[in-house]
Amino acid sequence: MIDAGFLLGTMRQLLAAVPTTLALFALSVSIGAVIAGLLAWARVGGHPLLDRFARGYIFVFRGSPLLIQMFLIYYGLSQFPAVRHSPAWLVLREPFNCAVISLALCTGGYAAEIFRGGLQAVPHTAIEAARASGMSGLLLFRRIIAPLAARAALPAYSTELVLMVKSTALASLVTVWEVTGVAQRIITHTYRTMEVFLCAAAIYLVLNVALVRLLMLLEWRLSPDLRAPRPLPAA
Amino acid sequence: MTREMPVALAARDIWKSYGTLEVLKGVSLEAHEGDVISVLGASGSGKSTLLRCINMLEVPDRGEVTVDGEPIRLRLHRGRREPADRRQVDRIRAKLGMVFQGFNLWSHLTVLGNVIEGPVHVQRRPRGECIAEAEALLEKVGIAAKRHHYPAHLSGGQQQRAAIARALAMNPKAILFDEPTSALDPELVGEVLRVMRALAEEGRTMLVVTHEIGFARHVSNRLLFMHRGEVAAAGTPEELFGGVAPEQFRQFIAGYHQR
Amino acid sequence: MTLLRLFGFGPQGWGGLLLAAALMTVAVTLAALLLGAALGALVAAARLSRRRLWRLLGEAYTTVFRGVPELLVVYVVYFGGSTLVSQIGAWLGGEGFLGLPSFLAGAIAVGVISGAYQAEVYRGAYLSILRGEIEAAKAIGMGGVLRFRRIVVPQVLRFALPGIGNVWQLSLKDSALVSVTGLAELMRMSQVAAGSTHEYFQFYIAGGALYLLMTTLSNRVFGAAESRVARSFRGGIGWQPR
């Protein structure tokens, strides 16, 4: 009953679309991280107006579905002649770019809260000790705050990254030819719905399991002090 | 005095190991009605394990436990010993009260709710009757004013007294105390010991694992001293504190006095 | 067309349809959450089991449904389900294509996904129950079923509340993906209205705003529930899963 030939052919076609999925992922996560960093800074910085803006941004992008955000950018913006005639149109007319922008804005909101949580998890005592040694500003951030915040935020951020891999599938609904999009195209030609979708699901599963493993390795490497100490040689 | 009273509970030749670690090596004890037996010993001597074997929170590898004349039936199942009849164990547990080191009050119920839970749902007694009795018990241990509070809002000493009331509400044949004051701040220990002393004077049968030497010496009528899984000394407080005691016991007591 | 006429409740206004669609969103999410609660409880029990087989099956379930895009799950349930229904129909003598009703497909798809997240919540909640409280129940002579009913279930529900609130929000947004089945929920209705009037921006903003409204109301409701439950905690509920 299992048509190996068909499955193999399907897999080949789907795998060819994986680079697109990865590109969507990598670009949106990077841009999103920058946005998140700025938002987290706005929230903990102390400036009430910036804090309010950041809170509003996070509320909007976490409170509404990604799909509607994506449609808003892809269909909604192109509706206005002003947008179509602006230089931004060079970027916005490509579905891929719209998808990346939408994904980045969305993850920016979620990651902002995760980064903020990480920052707040840095023990006050560690910062005090650093200040007492004369550290401040950028040096303090770079050597003490950032590493400890990153360690604290990593588990939650790992979950977010997995969600981002899954979210790239929505790009298929704005005509981007990533894995899910290609799967749909194969189905319209062959009508073999279940087999194709299950192949696509398998690909995402593999991608996510690999991602989680990588992140667990990263977590392990970042916490040398939390690992069990190696037994000392007998004196 | 107590020799003529019937045996409330007995443990005969109890052995218990965890893996290769032998925690109990052939321990026996017998409690007559009205006995207040204190079990002393260093950490790791097996005293808590012994207590927990009596109500089968731990199952002994060898040996027999009898409560109110009824031996708890055990069987071998897949290489492990376990109670043969769950219902018998539940029934017997309902006859024994247990007070834990960590109080273990149910955090989603009020103090009153904790005390009536057993009588209402296990003993199936009418709710009104249980509430009336519970309020009297809470009055007796001195926390009636807190009956509608949740455990989290009580001090450690109050929580433990509530736990004692909870155990008393079941009308137990004997009460097991597993280091009841070890988790309390020093100034709260007294209020709990006072309640326990009152219970002893009422004639309750009590088996108390404790570090409180004063209680052991002045309130209990028998002592058991455990060392590395065996009973190293047993007798009345007069005997053991009077000078007939083995060396280990004297060293143990001396260690305490030095603190 | 002015905004007022666009969103109003007159003959050319989409207001009524959008609100009805929002109700449909809530309905399908509720159905999904209930299905997810049942599945989540089973999977949590499996993952806490002493038998290795159950634990592995439970882990497989959570790995699959947290690792596969929700969109694909919706597709598979809808198309796969429809195929199944058509097959059964064929056996019973029917003809042609019988589809799985989109509400059912949506509820099942979102439900199965939320089940994976709810399993994590219930498992964490169960592990948070102090072992001592269960021992005290044993020591008083409570049998297994009674313990489960009187001690375990109330405690799990208390600890799980914040987590379930999160899962509800998650499922509310996942329900937008059910639009691909044609179900007249909020996403689909926004899409239809936008396409029909070519006022894409306005209607996607409107749809988004309605989702935000639902999110805010949900926050209020769960917040109130958590406050009521937290009165028995000393410091309030601290632990919150993602």
Place of tokens 């044949």: B173
Q: What ranges do the domains of chain C cover?
A: 25-129+164-183, 184-219
Rounded-to-integer distance, Cα A66 and Cα A172, Å: 13
Rounded-to-integer distance, Cα C188 and Cα C74, Å: 14
Predicted confidence (pLDDT) per residue in B235-257, tens digit: 999 888 887 778 888 888 887 76
C68, A180 contact by CB (below 8 A):
no
pLDDT above 70 coverage of chain A, percent? 94
Among B residues 81-100, those touching chain C with beta carbons less than 8 Å apart:
86-87, 90-98, 100
Q: How confident is the model at residue C103 (pLDDT cuts 50, 70, 90)?
A: very high
The pLDDT of residue A143 is 82
The pLDDT of residue B77 is 85
Q: Chains A and C: how many Cβ contacts under 8 Å?
A: 114
The pLDDT of residue C232 is 67
Predicted confidence (pLDDT) per residue in B174-233, tens digit: 999 999 999 999 999 999 999 999 999 999 999 999 989 899 999 999 999 999 999 989
Task: Kindly state the average pLDDT of the residues B35-62.
Answer: 92
Task: Kindly state the average pLDDT of the residues A51-69.
Answer: 95
- Domain C25-129+164-183 class, CATH top level: mainly alpha
The pLDDT of residue B240 is 87
- The minimum CA-CA distance between A97 and chain C, rounded to whole Å, is 18
The pLDDT of residue C241 is 32
| Higher-pLDDT residue of A190, B160 | B160
CB contact under 8 Å between A193 and C79, yes or no, is: yes
Q: Residue B125 to residues B120, B169, C30: CA-CA distances in angstroms?
A: 5, 11, 40
Q: How confident is the model at residue A71 (pLDDT cuts 50, 70, 90)?
A: very high
* pLDDT at residue A235 tops 80: no
Predicted confidence (pLDDT) per residue in C199-222, tens digit: 899 999 999 999 999 999 999 999
Rounded-to-integer distance, Cα A62 and Cα A227, Å: 35
Minimum mean pLDDT range among A59-63, A106-110, A133-137: A133-137
The pLDDT of residue A157 is 94
Considering only CB atoms, C232 lies closest to which of B57, B87, B152, namely B152
Structure tokens at B15: 């052995």
Angle at C164 between CA C123 and CA C145, to 5 degrees: 50
B107 touches chain C (CB under 8 A): yes
* pLDDT at residue C14 tops 80: yes
B83: β partners: B74
Residue of B nearest to C233 (CA): B152
Q: How confident is the model at residue A125 (pLDDT cuts 50, 70, 90)?
A: confident
Rounded-to-integer distance, Cα B49 and Cα B56, Å: 10
pLDDT above 90 coverage of chain B, percent? 75
The pLDDT of residue C233 is 65
Q: Chains B vs A: touching, with 3+ CB pairs under 8 Å?
A: no
The CATH number that domain A4-222 falls under is: 1.10.3720.10
Q: What is the pTM of this model?
A: 0.81
Q: How confident is the model at residue C242 (pLDDT cuts 50, 70, 90)?
A: very low
* pLDDT at residue C8 tops 80: no
The pLDDT of residue A188 is 86
Task: Kindly state the average pLDDT of the residues A58-79.
Answer: 95
The pLDDT of residue A230 is 60
* pLDDT at residue C234 tops 60: no
> Chains touching chain A at 3 or more Cβ pairs under 8 angstroms?
C
SS (HEC) of chain B:
CHHHCCEEEEEEEEEEEECCEEEEEEEEEEEECCCEEEEEECCCCCHHHHHHHHCCCCCCCEEEEEECCEECCEEEECCEEEECCHHHHHHHHHHEEEECCCCCCCCCCCHHHHHHHHHHHHCCCCHHHHHHHHHHHHHHHCCHHHCCCCHHHCCHHHHHHHHHHHHHCCCCCEEEEECCCCCCCHHHHHHHHHHHHHHHHHCCCEEEECCCHHHHHHCCCEEEEEECCEEEEEECHHHHHHCCCCHHHHHHHHHHHCC
The pLDDT of residue A128 is 84
The pLDDT of residue A134 is 81
- For the beta carbon of residue B124, count every other beta carbon within 10 angstroms: 8
Considering only CB atoms, B57 lies closest to which of C138, C142, C232, namely C138
Predicted confidence (pLDDT) per residue in C136-177, tens digit: 999 999 999 999 999 999 988 888 998 999 999 999 999 999
Task: Kindly state the average pLDDT of the residues B120-132.
Answer: 94
CB contact under 8 Å between C135 and B57, yes or no, is: yes
ipTM score of complex: 0.88
Predicted confidence (pLDDT) per residue in A209-230, tens digit: 999 999 999 988 887 776 666 6
Q: How confident is the model at residue C237 (pLDDT cuts 50, 70, 90)?
A: very low
The pLDDT of residue A193 is 86
B230: β partners: B227
Q: How confident is the model at residue B80 (pLDDT cuts 50, 70, 90)?
A: confident
Checking DSSP bridges between strand B36-41 and strand B222-227, what pairing results, if any?
parallel
B99: β partners: B177
Q: Which of A24, A71, A160 to mutate to test the interface with C (most CBs of C within 10 A)?
A: A71
